[in-house]
Amino acid sequence: MRIAVNHLGFKPSDAGKQAVIWGAQERARFQIVNLNEMGYNEIGPNTQPNAIAYQGETRRVSHPWGVSWLADFTALRTPGLYLVTLDNQYNSVPFQIRDDVYSRTLRKAFDYIHLQRCGQEVPGYHGPCHLDDAVRRDDRRFVDTVGGWHDAGDLRKWMPFTLLLGMAIVKLERLVGPGWRTFDAKEGDLLAELRWGNGYFLKMQDADGSVWHDVAGGVNGDNSDNHWTDNVRGTADDRHVNTSVELYLQWEFVLLESMLARLFATVDPAYAAQCQTAASRAHRFATSRETKNVQDLGWSVWALAELSQADRTHRTALREELFKRARLLLSLQEKEHRFGQDRVRGFWYHDAARKDFYRSTWDPAIPALALAELLDLDDLDPALISDVRGALDLFANGYVRPMVESNAFGIMPYGLYADRPTDEVYRPLAGQLEYRFFQPARGVVHAGLTSHLLSHAIATLTASRVLGDPTLEVIARRQLEWVMGANTELACLMTAEGVNNPYPHSRFLGLIPGGIMNGFAGLEEDRPFLDMSHGMDWRTTEYWSPHTFHYLWYVALASHRR
């Protein structure tokens, strides 16, 4: 018998407070124990019975992984420390009810980024590192790319993912503005950390405005650069710069540099101008390349929304380009029930061919998130506002809502399929459509779904705010609850929060407080797998930057009401 509940807990006002119970064959009565009111004897066991704060009947729900029951305790609103029990025989982990149940973790998640600094000493973790980064893969010429952040549970610096960390900090500053000044008393920790990371990003821009892919990704995508170095240029252990170009990465760079130009406009105009210039150069390069898929298009829409606000000189032309791309992105959302079914719509196709659907482990909701950013513009055409709101409604209610109803935990399956790409279990949805909870295990490099879930959490929470629908906020929170312990292993995936944490795939630094792991991957039979045997399986337990990006954004958004 297992009782799964969010290890962080709940806000007093939260609707849909629940625990998922499985292993029970019959309906049972559950109790919520107030741990603040338990009797205690300093020289012996408890001398008073547990204080029951709430009790109710479980409700049976269908679930593909076995019989499950839900224990709903939404009515419990009193702050305190609690656990769920079935007649004192089976207990959940303790959890809190408090107003800052999520926001109190923001500092820990931010500090994870700070502790991933590369190019300087990080006390308690490593000395000055990688001061000899790096030489080009193609001609072995040295290019100064010192700095930035290690991306994951290793020492590599992937641009597509570490750029996200900068975006997360900007979102945190905009939505919460915590004003932390622990390691930078003058400018503040958030702006100081942004300067640090951006120092590396600016070095990764070539003379033609293009942005390189990574440092230390290896020679041919291998793991050969994943090591400490002697910090001396020109020796055998020098790492490599990968100068290849990905279009979505160019737009990510435009986006972050535009964000920074706006953020620093008043505190450091010269630095803001430097960031805007870098954004404009990357924009010119990106627009010279063909947009091939929804991922490229989504990032370009968001980037242009920011750049058009940072670059007032070219605002009219940028807005014209933005609205054209937004219309194209809207056209790639399925607005009808197709494939012989009437259950889901509102999903995005991978590209204009409309033969496959957009799926991603790290940015699956980018089309919806990019379009939602348009609603912050001050001169948006009313017709486009209506279309964006309609797209968010279709995505949240036409796609996400019916998909999360497939399981007791309320989590978003990995994606839809009209044709099976591999020979393994795919679950029937309706008509010609099938789905998997997890990435196919055969034929691809597959990883856990933490960012997949958190990306949908942000998009669904955003839709909740835009549409004024609080039920969508509950769906959004379910995605986070799975990551924070309400899952089949009762495991919290953030180091130093909750209990039953897996040991992370972090071979160079070990445990990093606030680090968030890849999470559950799928077996061929589409059942959840998480390495709980300390095998450091990178697919499920490695720290990845996209998880921190999504976590900080979601919690900042959930903490900010407007």
Mean pLDDT of 246-270: 98
**Is pLDDT above 80 for 217?**
yes
At residue 239, the pLDDT reads 98
Chain centre to alpha carbon of residue 206: 29
**Is pLDDT above 80 for 46?**
no
**Average pLDDT along the chain:** 95
3-state secondary structure (DSSP) of residue 355: coil
pLDDT band at 562; cut points 50, 70, 90: low
Report the C-alpha gap between 59 and 258 in whole angstroms: 49
**Is pLDDT above 60 for 534?**
yes
Mean pLDDT of 186-210: 98
Q: Is the dihedral of CA 280, 282, 288, 292 positive or negative?
A: negative
pLDDT band at 47; cut points 50, 70, 90: very low
**Is pLDDT above 60 for 44?**
no
Q: Enter the tokens of residue 201.
A: 């990003």
**Is pLDDT above 60 for 236?**
yes
Mean pLDDT of 508-518: 97
At residue 50, the pLDDT reads 72
Q: What are phi and psi of 214, to 5 degrees?
A: -165, 165
Rg of the Cα atoms in the chain: 24
* pLDDT tens track for 398-449: 999 999 999 999 999 999 999 999 999 999 999 999 999 999 998 777 789 9
The full DSSP string for 277-303 is HHHHHHHHHHTTS---SHHHHHHHHHH
pLDDT band at 512; cut points 50, 70, 90: very high
At residue 66, the pLDDT reads 80
Q: Are 118 and 150 in contact (CB under 8 A)?
A: yes
* pLDDT tens track for 450-505: 999 999 999 999 999 999 999 999 999 999 999 999 999 999 999 999 999 999 99
At residue 62, the pLDDT reads 80
**Is pLDDT above 60 for 40?**
no
Mean pLDDT of 229-235: 97
Q: Are 70 and 18 in contact (CB under 8 A)?
A: yes
Residues of the chain with pLDDT > 90, as a percent, come to 91
* pLDDT tens track for 60-88: 998 888 889 999 999 999 999 999 999 88
Mean pLDDT of 362-386: 96
pTM over 0.95: yes
Report the C-alpha gap between 294 and 302 in whole angstroms: 12
Amino acid code (one letter) for 202: L
> So where are the chain's domains?
2-97
Architecture in CATH of 2-97: Sandwich (2.60)
Among the residues of 407-560, which ranges form H helices? 450-467, 470-483, 538-541, 545-559
Report the C-alpha gap between 387 and 276 in whole angstroms: 30
At residue 198, the pLDDT reads 98
**Is pLDDT above 80 for 37?**
no
pLDDT band at 38; cut points 50, 70, 90: low
Q: Which of 165-169, 218-222, 264-268 has the lowest mean pLDDT?
A: 218-222
Mean pLDDT of 198-225: 95
pLDDT band at 48; cut points 50, 70, 90: low
Q: Enter the tokens of residue 287.
A: 């627009």
